[in-house]
Structure 1
């Protein structure tokens, strides 16, 4: 039972269903993008996933490769990576200017790597995939094999949602 169902149950028990309704505003935030062409990476170059399949909430920018959080929340991110044949590839997942995870694809035929994270973002924080500047130039494979995706798990606020509903219901009972 989710919080809205719990609130409606409480309202039915107190006979509030005809007078009061709780309006739930749904905001979906999710994106999925892939890389269509190989990209040569040097230094801390951002990987720009250009083919966008999903971009609910318009957080992902396929011109600069950054996801910018439209609201404060707990988010999940994942990125798959594959180097060109028989080469290494090192990438870094970053929140703003901070490293939050590393991904590596070792030499081999069609080997793949990934990097994943569950992190809290404030409104305006951004996440991007960049080349690991500690290594020399490398190439990330295109043709849809490499991807970057993420979604909002739950909104976060300064006030706990359940506490807010309880206070709101108590104020209506007075």
Structure 2
């Protein structure tokens, strides 16, 4: 009996060069007080691959046109409910709401298109104080390019 061997060759090509953009940052200062319509400035930048985030303004600028996943997590003080807007340029796309209570936390993730140069950022609507105890990353902002367009 003759045995026949079959061989299969699989080839994968995957390149991240110039197409990989990733941001991860958080608020590191305890109990940040925000002004009316102020941008939240996530001051501790963990990753900023592609260089799109500016901690001085709190805004992520799309380095290339594409579909981005933007995620925001917040924690307010127990006596302070908070509404924060997820913004594309000057348009509010969604709201993250943290109710009063025992250090309530809220998260929202959106996937939306951005043209090169568009900004994504987090804006205070109501409430004043983000709770950020030392070494506890409760207030987080991330941006990831899902696909170039």
Pairs aligned (count): 134
| Match in the other structure for 1:93 | 86
| Match in the other structure for 2:28 | 36
Distance 1:107 1:25 in 2: 43
Q: Does 1:139 align with 2:129?
A: yes
| Match in the other structure for 1:130 | 123
Displaced runs of 4 or more, over 3 A: none
Contact 2:77 2:104 survives alignment (8 Å): no
Larger Rg: 1
Distance change >3 Å, CA 80–CA 24, structure 1 → 2: closer
RMSD: 1.8
Unaligned runs of 5+ in 1: 9-22, 157-174
TM-score normalised by structure 1 residue count: 0.72
TM-score normalised by structure 2 residue count: 0.83
Deviations 1:34-84 (A, max 9, x none): 101122122100000000111100011111100000000000000001111
Which structure carries more relative contact order (alpha carbon 8 Å, separation 6+)? 2
Unaligned runs of 5+ in 2: 1-10
Bigger strand share: 2
Bigger helix share: 1
Cα shift at 1:30: 0.4
| Match in the other structure for 2:49 | 56
